[in-house]
Structure 1
């Protein structure tokens, strides 16, 4: 068990600009660049461990949503293919 250190957990790693609108702070975790959202969405500071917890559980959440609400699930690639047809 490690100790909780506020400064280590409240300051996310440096952002790497991936595209004009996306950044990456943690490997394979893409975010909308916060500087694009400051006018309409108040930014919150929450611990790094909470970001990683949310990322780790996102597939479970999607699976639950699909089981409870979706009649069918299609991939993003299918949608892109339909646009090019």
Structure 2
């Protein structure tokens, strides 16, 4: 475990432009480019460790949502395959 250093955690890594609307700051963590949202959505600053915590727990959250609310879970690939047919 590393020590918390505000200066290291308050600035996210430099963003890489992935598409016209998506950026990537952490490996495999895609975000809507904040400059596209800043007019309508006030951008919040939160520490890097919190972003990584949220990303790490997203599958647990989806599993919980599926088990509580979904009668059937369909993969995105299955939907794309259906569109292609």
Q: Same fold (TM over 0.5)?
A: yes
Gap regions ≥5 residues in structure 1: none
Q: Which residue is equivalent to 1:65?
A: 65
After TM superposition, the runs of 4+ consecutive aligned structure 1 residues lying more than 6 A away are none
Equivalent position SS for 2:20: coil
Q: Deviation at 1:18?
A: 0.6
Q: Which residue is equivalent to 2:79?
A: 79
Q: Which residue is equivalent to 1:24?
A: 24
Equivalent position SS for 1:23: strand
Q: CA RMSD in A?
A: 1.0
Q: Tell me how many residue pairs correspond in the alignment.
A: 85
Q: Which residue is equivalent to 1:14?
A: 14
Q: Which residue is equivalent to 1:47?
A: 47
TM-score by length of 2: 0.94
2:37 paired with 1:37: yes
Equivalent position SS for 1:36: helix
Gap regions ≥5 residues in structure 2: none
